[in-house]
C-alpha cells in the first residue's frame, strides 16, 4: 500500500492508483472533463489539476500516480483559479445555446461551470455558428459544442476498434471528424452510438425522430403500435433521476398508453420468437451441416461491422431477423390479418437502447410486400423526452400491462438485454429440445457477467457444444481473428456491438463520467434484468403460449416456410 495525505487527511491506497482515484476513495471529488476510466486517460483538459508538494507545477490528477509520503492539495486558491481559467477558455470556444441544446440539464460542461463557480463568461466568442454534420441515420454532430476531450474518439478506437473518428488539423483549427473530413455516412461507422454516450456535451446526439412519432399519433388514419426492447425497462427510469438498475416496466407501459399508442406490445415477445427460430436453425446446422460457428444477428452494429470487416463470415450469421424486426414483421402480418387492418395503415414504433436500430429499420432487405417492418426506432432517451413533453409525471404513473396478442413474454427474452442473455435464452430452449425433457438447472451462469469475452462447453447427447459470448467490437475482432486462425473453436457465438450488451447501448440514458467512472452501469442494469427473469413463471421461450398459438394458427413449424418468409432475412456481402 502507498500512504499519502490529501488535504491533510491520511490516505492509503494500492500502488498504481491515480491521485484522482485516491481522492475519490477518501470522499473528495476532483472535477474532471476528459477523463473516462479505462477509455480516455490522457490528462489533456487540465480541469482535474491539483497541487502536489514539491512538484514544479500543478499536475493532472487523472494520470498522476500516488507515491509514498506524497502531499496533495485539491482545493487551494491556485488550484481553483487554474481550473476556472481553463474552463473559461474552453467556454470561449463553445457555442452556448444551452436553452435549446438537447443535452441541457445533462451536460457535463454546464455542471462543471456551476461547480467551479463560473458566473460570467469573460471571453465569450461572438456567436459561433453551428457546425452540423448529420449525414448518418443515427447521429448528429455539432462541432461548435465540442470541447476536444477526445472521449468519443477513444471509445470508437479502443472499445470498438472501429476508429473512424479522430482529430483533424492542428492548433486552433483542431476538430473532431473522419479522415479527410469525409461524412460519417461515407465511412465504416457502425452506428453504435458509443461516442454519443461518451460525449460530455451536446456535440453528439442521436438523430431525433420524435416528431415523426408525434405526427403518426396525431393522424387518425394511422394505427400506431409500439414495442420497447428488453433493456429499456431497466434504464428508462434513469431519464427521470431514478437509481441505475430500477425496473420501471409497469410505468413505461402506462406512459406509452397515455402517449396515445393504439397498442403497446413488447419486443420481448418477439425475442421469444427469435429464440425459437435461432434455436431451430442452430440445431439444424448441427444435425444437417451448415456454417458453424453460427453467430447471432440481433445487434445491427455488429452486423454492419461483420459486413465491413469480415464479409467472409456472413454465412455464419444466423438468418434470423433481430427481435426488433421480427416484432415489426409480426405486427404487419399476423396482427394486421387478425385485426383486419391494411399493414400500410399500421405505423410501428420500436423503443430501443440502440442508435444502430435507426439504421437497421431502413435496411432494404427488410422490406416485405412494399412496407418496412418498423417505421421509426426511438432511443430510450427520445422516449424519455416524449414522456416529459407530454407532461407525464413518470414516478406518479401506476403500473400498466402490455396488450395481449404480442405482449406476453418469458424470462428468456427479458435477459436478452444483457451480454450473454441471448445465448442463455437459446440454451434454455436448445438443451431442453435436444434432451427431450425438463432441464435443470435453468441458469447458464457461465455465460453471465460483464466480461468482454466468455466461453463455455455443454454436453448434449452425442456431442459437446462450445459457445462463446462477446460484447464490444474489439472483443468481437479478437474472437473472429482466433476462429479464422483456427485457434478458437466454437459452435455458437453471441456478439453484441456494445460493451456489456444492450443495457449499455448507445441510445441509453446519458450518465456523466462522474457516474460512469465509479459505477458499473452494465452490471447494475443487467442485474435488474436477471432479477425480473427470476421472478417470472415462464422462463423458456418455447413455453410462451402466445408463440405456440401464433405458430399453430399462422406460422406453421419453427424454421418452416412461412416462418422463414416473415422472420428471417439474408445479408449479402
Ligand atoms: Fe437489444 Fe435485441 S437484445 S439487440 O439490446 O436482440 O437494441 O434491449 O431489443 O432487436 O430483444 C437492442 C435490447 C433488443 C433486438 C432484443
Ligand atoms: Fe465510432 Fe460507433 Fe460513434 Fe460510429 S457510432 S463514430 S462506430 S463510436
The pLDDT tens digits of the residues spanning 282-330 come to 999 999 999 999 999 999 999 999 999 999 999 999 999 999 999 999 9
- Please indicate whether residue 502 is annotated as part of the active site: yes
Alpha-carbon gap, residue 540 to 533, rounded angstroms: 10
Does residue 438 surpass a pLDDT of 70? no
Alpha helix ranges (H) inside 449-544: 473-484, 513-516, 521-534
* Distance of CA 153 from the midpoint of ligand 2 (Å): 8
Q: Quick one: which atom of ligand 2 is closest to the CA of 162?
A: 7
- Please indicate whether residue 318 is annotated as part of the active site: yes
* CATH number of the structural domain 99-106+126-207: 3.30.70.20
* CATH number of the structural domain 212-567: 3.40.50.1780
C-alpha cell at 480: 473472429
Alpha helix ranges (H) inside 400-462: 411-414, 421-435
pLDDT digits (tens, 9 = 90+) for 378-434: 999 999 999 999 999 999 999 999 999 999 999 999 999 999 999 999 999 998 888
Give the single-character DSSP code of 72: E
pLDDT of residue 461: 84
**Catalytic hit among 32, 231, 318, 329:** 318
Alpha-carbon gap, residue 440 to 347, rounded angstroms: 42
Q: Phi/psi at 338 (nearest 5 deg)?
A: -60, -40
- HSE, CB side, 13 Å, CA atoms: give it for residue 280: 19
- Please indicate whether residue 457 is annotated as part of the active site: no
Does residue 124 surpass a pLDDT of 80? no
Alpha-carbon gap, residue 120 to 117, rounded angstroms: 9
**Catalytic hit among 34, 45, 62, 298:** 298
pLDDT of residue 573: 62
- Please indicate whether residue 357 is annotated as part of the active site: yes
pLDDT of residue 121: 83
Does residue 127 surpass a pLDDT of 80? no
- Please indicate whether residue 360 is annotated as part of the active site: yes
Q: For residue 507, give the ligand nearest its CA.
A: 1
Residues in the chain, how many? 573
Alpha-carbon gap, residue 51 to 75, rounded angstroms: 8
Ligand 2 pocket list (CB less than 6 A): 139, 155-156, 160, 162, 164-165, 189-195
Separation in Å, CA 331 to CA 209, 263, 340, 487: 21, 10, 12, 43
pLDDT of residue 571: 81
Ligand 1 pocket list (CB less than 6 A): 229-231, 267, 271, 298-299, 322-324, 352-354, 357, 416-417, 502, 505
Sheet of 139-142, strand order: 132-133, 139-142, 204-206
Alpha-carbon gap, residue 361 to 331, rounded angstroms: 14
pLDDT digits (tens, 9 = 90+) for 92-110: 999 988 999 999 999 999 9
Q: Quick one: which atom of ligand 2 is closest to the CA of 152?
A: 8
pLDDT digits (tens, 9 = 90+) for 473-517: 999 999 999 999 999 999 999 999 999 999 999 999 999 999 999
Per-residue b or e along 530-539, where b marks 16 or more CB atoms closer than 10 Å to that residue's CB: bebbeeeebb
Does residue 549 surpass a pLDDT of 90? yes
pLDDT digits (tens, 9 = 90+) for 338-384: 999 999 999 999 999 999 999 999 999 999 999 999 999 999 999 99
Reduced DSSP (H G I as helix, E B as strand, rest coil) percent helix, strand, coil of the chain, to 5: 45, 15, 40
- CB contact at 8 A, 513 and 35: yes
Select the more confidently predicted residue: 462 or 372.
Answer: 372
pLDDT digits (tens, 9 = 90+) for 159-217: 999 999 999 999 889 999 999 999 999 999 999 999 999 999 999 999 999 999 999 99
- CB contact at 8 A, 510 and 106: yes
Please classify residue 35 by burial: count the beta carbons closer than 10 Å to its beta carbon, then call 0-12 exposed, 13-18 middle and 19+ buried: buried
Alpha-carbon gap, residue 303 to 369, rounded angstroms: 24
pLDDT digits (tens, 9 = 90+) for 7-58: 999 999 999 999 999 999 999 999 999 999 999 999 999 999 999 999 999 9
CATH architecture of the domain 2-89 equals Roll (3.10)
Give the single-character DSSP code of 36: B
User: What is the best residue among 164, 166, 196 to mutate for testing ligand 2's pocket, by most ligand atoms within 8 Å of CB?
Assistant: 164
Comma-separated ranges of CATH 3.40.50.1780 domains in the chain: 212-567
Within a 10 A sphere around the Cβ of 250, how many other Cβ atoms?
15
* Distance of CA 545 from the midpoint of ligand 1 (Å): 21
pLDDT digits (tens, 9 = 90+) for 136-168: 999 999 999 999 999 999 999 999 999 999 999
C-alpha cell at 259: 402517449
Separation in Å, CA 180 to CA 166, 168, 191, 194, 203: 10, 8, 19, 22, 20
Q: Quick one: which atom of ligand 2 is closest to the CA of 163?
A: 1
Residue in the block written with cell 456535451: 201
Q: Quick one: which atom of ligand 1 is closest to the CA of 229?
A: 9
Q: Quick one: which atom of ligand 2 is closest to the CA of 190?
A: 7
Nearest CA-CA partner of 451 in 525, 530, 523, 531: 523
Alpha-carbon gap, residue 466 to 377, rounded angstroms: 34
pLDDT band at 441 (very low <50, low <70, confident <90, very high): confident
Between CA 338 and CA 346, with CA 342 as vertex, the angle to 5 degrees is 95
pLDDT band at 439 (very low <50, low <70, confident <90, very high): low
Three-state DSSP state, 455: strand
| Average pLDDT rounded to a whole number, residues 525-548 | 97
- CB contact at 8 A, 473 and 496: no
Comma-separated ranges of CATH 3.10.20.740 domains in the chain: 2-89
- CB contact at 8 A, 230 and 420: no
Q: For residue 329, give the ligand nearest its CA.
A: 1
For strands 376-379 and 346-352, give the pairing.
parallel
C-alpha cell at 218: 396525431
Give the rounded percent of residues in the chain with a pLDDT score beyond 70: 99
pLDDT of residue 546: 97
For strands 2-6 and 49-52, give the pairing.
unpaired
How much is the pTM? 0.97
Alpha-carbon gap, residue 379 to 351, rounded angstroms: 6
Does residue 463 surpass a pLDDT of 90? no
User: What is the best residue among 143, 152, 156 to mutate for testing ligand 2's pocket, by most ligand atoms within 8 Å of CB?
Assistant: 156
Alpha-carbon gap, residue 60 to 355, rounded angstroms: 34
- Please indicate whether residue 206 is annotated as part of the active site: no
Separation in Å, CA 278 to CA 270, 440, 535, 564, 567: 12, 21, 25, 11, 10
Three-state DSSP state, 303: helix
**Catalytic hit among 191, 251, 502, 540:** 502
Three-state DSSP state, 466: strand
Separation in Å, CA 392 to CA 258, 266, 402: 8, 21, 18
ipTM confidence: 0.92
pLDDT band at 233 (very low <50, low <70, confident <90, very high): very high
Alpha-carbon gap, residue 293 to 143, rounded angstroms: 42
Amino acid at each position: 500500500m502507498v500512504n499519502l495525505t490529501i488535504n491533510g487527511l491520511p490516505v492509503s491506497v494500492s500502488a498504481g492508483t491515480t491521485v484522482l482515484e485516491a481522492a475519490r476513495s477518501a470522499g473528495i471529488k476532483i472535477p474532471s472533463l476528459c477523463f473516462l476510466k479505462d477509455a480516455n486517460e490522457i490528462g489533456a483538459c487540465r480541469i482535474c489539476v491539483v497541487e502536489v508538494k514539491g512538484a514544479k507545477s500543478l499536475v493532472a490528477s487523472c494520470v498522476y500516480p500516488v507515491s509514498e509520503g506524497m502531499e496533495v492539495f485539491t482545493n487551494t486558491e491556485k488550484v481553483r483559479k487554474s481550473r476556472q481559467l481553463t474552463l473559461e477558455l474552453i467556454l470561449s470556444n463553445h457555442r452556448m445555446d444551452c436553452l435549446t441544446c438537447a443535452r441541457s440539464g445533462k451536460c457535463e460542461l454546464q455542471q462543471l461551470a456551476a461547480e467551479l463557480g463560473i458566473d460570467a463568461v469573460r471571453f465569450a466568442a461572438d456567436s459561433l455558428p453551428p457546425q452540423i454534420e448529420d449525414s448518418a441515420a443515427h447521429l448528429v454532430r455539432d462541432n461548435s459544442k465540442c470541447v476536444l476531450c477526445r472521449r468519443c474518439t477513444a471509445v470508437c478506437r479502443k472499445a470498438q476498434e472501429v476508429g473512424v473518428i479522430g482529430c483533424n488539423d492542428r492548433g486552433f483549427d483542431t476538430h473532431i471528424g473522419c479522415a479527410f473530413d469525409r461524412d460519417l455516412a461515407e465511412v465504416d461507422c457502425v452506428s453504435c452510438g458509443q461516442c454519443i454516450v461518451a460525449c460530455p456535451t451536446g456535440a453528439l446526439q442521436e438523430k431525433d425522430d420524435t416528431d415523426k412519432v408525434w405526427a403518426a399519433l396525431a393522424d387518425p388514419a394511422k394505427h400506431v403500435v409500439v414495442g420497447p426492447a428488453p433493456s429499456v425497462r431497466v434504464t428508462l427510469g434513469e431519464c427521470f433521476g431514478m437509481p441505475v438498475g430500477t425496473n420501471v416496466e409497469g410505468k413505461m407501459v402506462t406512459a406509452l398508453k397515455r402517449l396515445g399508442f393504439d397498442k403497446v406490445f413488447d419486443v420481448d415477445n418477439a425475442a421469444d420468437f427469435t429464440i425459437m427460430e435461432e434455436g431451430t436453425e442452430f440445431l439444424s446446422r448441427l444435425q444437417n451441416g451448415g456454417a458453424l460457428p453460427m453467430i447471432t444477428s440481433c445487434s445491427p452494429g455488429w452486423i454492419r461491422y461483420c459486413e465491413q470487416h469480415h464479409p467472409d463470415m456472413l454465412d455464419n450469421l444466423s438468418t434470423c431477423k433481430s427481435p426488433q424486426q421480427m416484432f415489426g414483421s409480426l405486427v404487419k402480418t399476423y396482427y394486421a390479418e387478425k385485426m383486419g387492418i391494411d399493414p400500410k395503415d399500421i405505423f410501428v414504433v420500436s423503443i430501443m437502447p440502440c442508435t444502430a436500430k435507426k439504421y437497421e429499420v431502413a435496411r432494404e432487405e427488410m422490406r416485405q410486400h412494399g412496407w418496412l417492418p418498423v417505421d421509426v426506432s426511438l432511443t430510450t432517451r427520445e422516449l424519455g423526452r416524449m414522456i416529459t413533453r407530454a407532461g407525464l409525471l413518470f414516478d406518479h404513473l401506476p403500473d400498466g400491462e402490455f396488450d395481449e396478442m404480442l405482449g406476453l413474454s418469458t424470462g428468456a427474452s427479458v435477459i436478452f438485454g444483457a451480454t450473454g442473455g441471448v445465448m442463455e435464452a437459446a440454451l434454455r430452449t436448445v438443451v431442453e429440445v435436444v434432451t427431450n425433457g425438463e432441464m435443470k438447472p435453468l441458469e447458464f451462469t457461465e455465460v453471465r457477467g460483464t466480461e468482454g469475452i466468455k466461453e463455455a462447453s455443454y454436453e448434449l447427447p452425442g456431442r459437446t457444444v462450445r459457445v462463446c459470448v462477446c460484447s464490444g467490437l474489439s472483443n468481437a475482432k479478437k474472437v473472429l481473428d482466433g476462429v479464422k486462425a483456427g485457434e478458437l473453436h466454437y459452435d455458437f457465438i453471441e456478439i453484441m456491438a456494445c460493451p456489456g450488451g444492450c443495457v449499455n447501448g448507445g441510445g441509453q440514458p446519458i450518465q456523466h463520467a462522474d457516474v460512469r467512472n465509479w459505477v458499473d452501469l452494465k452490471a447494475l442494469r443487467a442485474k435488474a434484468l436477471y432479477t425480473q427473469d427470476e421472478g417470472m413463471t415462464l422462463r423458456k421461450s418455447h413455453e410462451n403460449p402466445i408463440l405456440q398459438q401464433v405458430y399453430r394458427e399462422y406460422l406453421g413449424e419453427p424454421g418452416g416456410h412461412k416462418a422463414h418468409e416473415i422472420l428471417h432475412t439474408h445479408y449479402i456481402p
